Amino acid sequence: MSNVPTDLKYTKSHEWVKDNGDGTVTVGVTDHAQELLGDMVFVEVPESGRELSAGEDCAVVESVKAASDVYSPVSGEVVEGNEELADAPETVNSDAYGEGWMFKLKLADSGELGGLMDAAAYEELVASES
């Protein structure tokens, strides 16, 4: 069973969102997503300053098996991309919710967070897809 921390929010496309409490959020892909994709071999994150709309594809994770787009869960400006992942894509497998984070956003509208799933709803989604 995948790990689904209760202090995070989730999307249907398997991203997680952490509210940093200072108007920014951190985004990554869930443990379930990394498990489905398998061994990561390439990660591309968005550059700082890029404006993203909710649902926009903005990053890529590629496992030895396949490429998968990562979508921005909310709208905002990228304040940091996790450059460490370029040389260590496997971090997404080993620590999806920690060192495997992908980018940080300055929220355009904090109200958008309310539209995301909580851990219980996400667990239900994962169960329904397996």
Partner 1 sequence: MAKTPLYDKHVEMGGKMVDFGGWDMPINYGSQLEEHKQVREDAGMFDVSHMTVVDMKGEQVIAFLQKLLANNVAKITGKPGKALYSCMLNEQGGVIDDLITYYMNDSWFRTVVNAATRDKDIAWIEKQAAAFDVEVIVRDDLAMIAAQGPNARDKALSVLGSECAGAGELTPFFATECGGKFVARTGYTGEDGFEIMLSNDEAPKLWQALSDAGVKPCGLGARDTLRLEAGMNLYGTDMDEEVSPLEAALGWTLSFDEGRDFIGRGPLEALKAEGAKRKMVGLVLTDRGVLRGHQKVVAEGIGEGEITSGSFSPSLGKSIAFARVPAAMGDTCQVEIRGKLLNARVVKFPFVRNGKSCID
In the complex with partner 1, the residue whose CB is nearer, 19 or 62, is 62
**Tokens describing residue 103:** 């980018």
Report helix, strand or coil for 91.
Answer: helix
Tell which one of 12, 47, 56, 67 touches partner 1 (CB under 8 A). 67
* Site stretch for partner 1 (CB under 8 A), options 9-17, 36-44, 47-55, 73-81: 36-44
CB of 35 to partner 1, least distance (A): 10
**Dist. CA 32–CA 77, nearest whole Å:** 26
* Site stretch for partner 1 (CB under 8 A), options 17-25, 58-66, 107-115, 122-130: 58-66
**Tokens describing residue 7:** 């202090």
**Dist. CA 22–CA 77, nearest whole Å:** 14
